Amino acid sequence: MVYDLIVIGGGPAGYLAAERAGQGGMNTLLFEKRSLGGVCLNEGCIPSKALLYSAKIADNARDGAKYGVDASGVALNHPAVIKRKNKVVRNLVAGVKAKMKKNKVTVVEDTAFITGRSPEGYQVKAGDTVYTGRRLLIASGSVPIIPSIPGAKEGLERGFVITNREILDLEQVPEKLVIVGGGVIGLEMASYYNSAGSQVTVIEMLDHIAGATDLEISQILQKNYEKKGIRFMLSSRVTKIEENAVVYEAGGQTHRVEADKVLMSVGRRPATEGLGLENIGVELDRGAIRVDERCQTNVPGVYAAGDVNGVSMLAHTAYRESEVAVNNMLGRKDIMRYNAIASVIYTNPEVAGVGETEQSAAEKGIDFEVAKLPMMYSGRYMAENEGGDGICKVLIDKQQRKLIGVHMIGNYSSEIIYGAALMIEMELRVDDVKELVFPHPTVSEIIRETIFEI
């Protein structure tokens, strides 16, 4: 039998592509070597959010006195948190399985290897069976980067150095947790383990945390976490992983920090090895599969969506890319646009942003204007965030007077930011947004308020 589409990888890009292809009437086969749902559902986005929600409940309860609530003796029960997280993951994986069934997708839980091409289509081998598909979608995701620091590999082997996978399943809260890399994974895990009682140290190579986040917001986030007891070692380079310590250099000096566990969160790279891509001539660009705006590779009928194409390594980007790929397979015109993809860090307070930051706009030479307000201008924020220091920042293109960026720190930002993404995607002008009615009282109103500052 020849499938209309073979999908390799069952994460957000792969399972959604299979679902959409099934809905579109394509006879689809999906390979997954670990667990349906991929990194996002099993060892990334979802489990981390389950952990962080438990931490948020504990943090709020500890802060209860500020709100007239007596909740003394609050403790976070880590094993119970992990147990609940596992239940959430199990249910969602079952949900993905059900969707595959509903859309008549054949799922093979095995490792797929592309062997070549025949007149009928592309050939993919798993075990002793060879499958043929008229089209291929590579959605094999990404893997953590392990830098070649002396001791890192050995540390990983003995479970002292861990990645996003193991940190979500630790049986015990480490007394001393050292996190190498102050990006999204590092900060979210610093947040949880700080709430769970670890003494957390974040070692970051750059002079700021949270990567490409608006610099002012990154500094507010850092201050919030320093107040909670997290130590940040910035402009610091890890040089060695020892038996129970991490050695790093900063300002020309060597420092050593003791650890019970070390989380390595210095980025991820596309998972392109061992797939047999070379057997059909798929081109890579700096380790990622090169795709065009339709998510098609250089090989006709072969597409790549999600982290493996390295464009924007986020689950929500993967969703949209997979739809673009499938729409093109079905003969519907569709292309990827990346300028309005929001990014969120689910710390407490949450950080969310979309579009240009002051830094990126300046680098691009855009003539822009910025307006900024404290979140306290929102009544709802004030009512629910005693002493909160969140801000909202809006950037507009001065010539066209349209929105080009919105950045926020403060709770519910993660749920609000899609509205800002919509405004940027629809190229709304300042005057258009001024005419929109936001529900009151909501934290989202801060966007409207900020725009009135322009």
Identify the active-site residue in 208, 255, 407, 440.
440
Please say whether the beta carbons of 70 and 64 come within 8 A.
yes
CB of 212 to ligand NAI, least distance (A): 9
Question: For residues 4 and 188, which CB has a smaller minimum distance to ligand NAI in the complex?
Answer: 188
Q: Which is nearer to ligand NAI, 47 or 133 (CB)?
A: 47
Q: With CA atoms as reference, report the closest residue to 282 among 434, 138, 173.
A: 138
Query: How far is 258 from 260, CA to CA, in rounded Å?
Result: 7
Q: How far is the CB of 281 from ligand NAI (least distance, A)?
A: 28
Residue (107 or 313) nearer to ligand NAI, CB: 313
Looking at the Cβ atoms of 191 and 444, the one nearer to ligand NAI is: 191
Cβ proximity to ligand NAI, 291 vs 344, nearer residue: 344
Q: Where along the sequence are the contacts to ligand NAI (CB under 6 A)?
A: 147, 180-186, 188, 203-206, 211, 237-238, 265-268, 313-314, 343-346
Rounded to a whole number of angstroms, the minimum distance from the CB of residue 72 to ligand NAI is 33
Q: Helix/strand/coil (H, E, C) string of the chain?
A: CEEEEEEECCCHHHHHHHHHHHHCCCCEEEECCCCCCHHHHHHCHHHHHHHHHHHHHHHHHHCHHHHCCCCCCCCCCHHHHHHHHHHHHHHHHHHHHHHHHHCCCEEECCCCEEEEEECCEEEEEECCEEEEEEEEEECCCEEECCCCCCCHHHHHHCCCEECHHHHCCCCCCCCEEEEECCCHHHHHHHHHHHHCCCEEEEECCCCCCCCCCCHHHHHHHHHHHHHCCCEEECCEEEEEECCCEEEEEECCEEEEEECCEEEECCCEEECCCCCCHHHCCCCEECCEECCCCCCECCCCCEEECCHHHCCCCCHHHHHHHHHHHHHHHCCCCCCCCCCCCCEEECCCCCEEEEECCHHHHHHCCCCEEEEEEEHHHCHHHHHHCCCCCCEEEEEEECCCCEEEEEEEECCCHHHHHHHHHHHHHCCCEHHHHHCCCCCCCCCCHHHHHHHCCC
Closest CB 66 distance from ligand NAI, rounded Å: 27
440 an active-site residue? yes
The Cα–Cα gap between 235 and 218 comes to 15
Q: In this chain, which residue has its C-beta nearest to ligand NAI?
A: 183
Smallest gap from Cβ 315 to ligand NAI, in A, equals 7
We find the least distance from the C-beta atom of residue 114 to ligand NAI, in angstroms, to be 25
Select 182 or 405, whichever has its Cβ closest to ligand NAI: 182
Q: Which is nearer to ligand NAI, 112 or 313 (CB)?
A: 313
Q: Which residues are catalytic?
A: 440
